[in-house]
A and B are shown apart, each in its own frame.
Chain A
Amino acid sequence: MNKWLKRLFVFCVLAFLYAPILVLIVYSFNASRLRGSWDGFTLGWYQALFRDREVLRALYHTVLVAVLATVISTVVGTLASFGIHSLGRRGKSVILNLNYLPVLNPDIVTAVSLMLLFGFMGLNFGFGTLLMGHISFTVPYVVLSVLPKLGQMDPNLYEAALDLGAEPGTALRKVVLPEISPGIVTGALLAFTLSIDDFVISFFTTGHGVANLSTMIFSMARRGINPVINALSTLIFIVMIALLLVINRKTKEEV
């Protein structure tokens, strides 16, 4: 196939993917509120962003929920992997199918089911339910990251630790955990990323004015274009690129 055709195609697709982001970035500096005109370069929207209590609170909730959910789900999911790994074939299959449900189910169905649960339990919707919702959908991803690593590990390692006199808990801690740590890290990162970015589940499980970034953006966007969102997008984009560069450099160092 024609090399230039290929290059054109890739370029078009990349342009398609990045144009909207670039538009946001450009418009975040536009003094005019209207997208139609350019009124000059300004940092005003960024200033508004940092002064906006609502935004800062949403950011706080987002990060707090993500950190808590990640820690809890990583612990629960990792511990779960030991037990699941030791199940017989039929038990394992049943448990794993159940584990897969939040992963495979459409977001909205999971969200709605959780809303029913919290309603049924008579809970007040707020930070607590939001956190529980996030833990709900992150645990399966931790299991999905840790369990295979456990399966790949030489089972003799755990037995060797026992053989040398370690209690099961000590053996798990000192020998197995270090061996599967890449899987645990992957699971935790996955959980964190999914939590930071979540919208649908948060939308249905939060309440009482507790918003995370996604739900806040949604309500703002519904009301129409708001240049503060442009500024927010640009900042998030820059943070992401920075993170990626750091990770890229770290992995290059290791190699």
Chain B
Amino acid sequence: MDHSIELMDVYKRFGDTEVLQRMNLAIKDKEFLTLLGPSGCGKTTTLRLIAGFETPTDGKILLHGEDVSRVPAHKRSVNTVFQKYALFTHMNVFENIAFGLRIKKRPENEIKERVHEMLRLVNLKGFENRRTDSLSGGQQQRIAIARALVNEPDVLLLDEPLGALDLKLRQGMQRELKRIQESVGITFVYVTHEQEEALTMSDTVVVMNEGRIQQIGTPIDIYNEPENAFVADFIGESNIIDGVMPDDFRVVFSGREFICVDKGFAKNEAVDVVVRPEDIEISAPEHGMLKGRVSSVVFKGVHYEMMVDTGDFTYMIHSIVERKEGDTVGLSIIPEYIHIMRKTHVS
């Protein structure tokens, strides 16, 4: 398996602030990988280190096996799409896209051909002579992508490129990006804080927090099998309850024992129990494993979001079953939907 990018023990500090802690990451060729995490987690810094806008304080960055840690940005065969597009306002669309080719001193007819090809790829044929300030946000973003891709980089880096677009446009562009990536066939490294976006587009998701990788996996793995409380909490909604495992396949929380599908923990080990809101069933109080009072109900369109207070924990439930504030309800969880995680120290 060819790795287009490798980060080996990469550590980055700005003055007194540690931004990245000992990161190790191998990105496969032709894959769509997303760095996902909250603001300040280090995902953009990681991207900038790959691009060459920052140098690692310690550690190495390899592109196709070659150490490029000290190679300046303009010499690396990667290209970047910036969050605010960074189009050159004093040039028209054609000149923007042709910029990289002109630097390489490609012949004029080749430049013309490749620029046209790019515009076709991003569905903006005929926009050559337009001024950049006459374009909409979505159009500008596509020009930025074209400008980067026309140089045939090995890797395309995208720094929250859809952040400034409204929801419908975002979702459309997400599909576009996926299509382009599959069409061009190169590695895409994508940075975002929107977990839905990450889950939609990626082959691999890298969840980051406070300069550390929390989990690497496919979208389904990340969602269904979060490895720690942070990932469980960050991805989708989660109820995280303190529990104890007296034995394999058994866990005690909220005052009773449940059957679960996890094993391998020490006897009576304290654990984090994770249950997704949509995995909890609402029933009549006498038929439920747990009993509680509905403290709030919010209609969310797709479902009702209810907070149910069982005394020692307030559960968040997503259900199409309607209940009213003040009702007493029963809650049930089947073993497959109970996820056990080692307690991690929350730093």
Contact = CB atoms under 8 A, between A and B. Distances in A.
Interface in A142-197: 154, 156-157, 159-168, 170-171, 174-175, 178-179
Contacts of B79: 163-164
Contacts of B100: 164-165
A159 B80 contact: yes
Given A164-B99, A165-B100, A165-B151, A159 B73 contact: yes
Name, among B79, B86, B89, B90, the residue most crowded by chain A CB atoms within 10 Å (CB to CB). B86
A206 B300 CA distance: 80
A165 B78 CA distance: 9
A164 B86 contact: no
A159 B86 contact: yes
Contacts of A165: 74-75, 100, 103-104, 151
B309 to A, nearest CB: 48
B86 A179 contact: no
A186 B193 CA distance: 41
B51 interface: yes
A163 B84 contact: no
Nearest to B159: A156
B147 A164 contact: yes
A175 B76 CA distance: 19
B170 to A, nearest CB: 20
A9 B109 CA distance: 68
Interface string A81-122: 000000000000000000000000000000000000000000
Interface residues of A, number: 19
Interface in B44-86: 51-53, 72-75, 78-80, 82-84, 86
A157 B103 contact: no
A30 B230 CA distance: 90
Contacts of B51: 159, 163
B89 A179 contact: yes
B88 interface: yes
A20 B28 CA distance: 80
Nearest to A178: B90
A162 B90 CA distance: 17
A117 B6 CA distance: 58
Contacts of B78: 163
Contacts of A178: 88, 90
Contacts of A156: 82-84, 86
A179 B72 contact: no
A154 B132 CA distance: 15
A178 B99 CA distance: 15
Interface string B267-296: 000000000000000000000000000000
Contacts of A170: 103
Contacts of B52: 162
27 contacts: A156-B82, A156-B83, A159-B51, A159-B73, A159-B80, A159-B86, A160-B88, A161-B88, A162-B72, A162-B74, A163-B79, A163-B148, A164-B99, A164-B100, A164-B147, A164-B148, A164-B151, A165-B151, A166-B74, A166-B99, A167-B74, A168-B74, A171-B74, A174-B99, A175-B88, A178-B88, A179-B88
Given A162-B53, A165-B104, 6 more contacts: A154-B86, A156-B84, A159-B82, A161-B99, A163-B73, A179-B88
Interface of B: 51-53, 72-75, 78-80, 82-84, 86, 88-90, 99-100, 103-104, 147-148, 151
Instruction: Enumerate the 7 nearest inter-chain pairs by beta-carbon distance, A residue then B residue, closest first.
Output: A164-B100, A156-B86, A160-B86, A178-B90, A156-B82, A162-B74, A165-B103
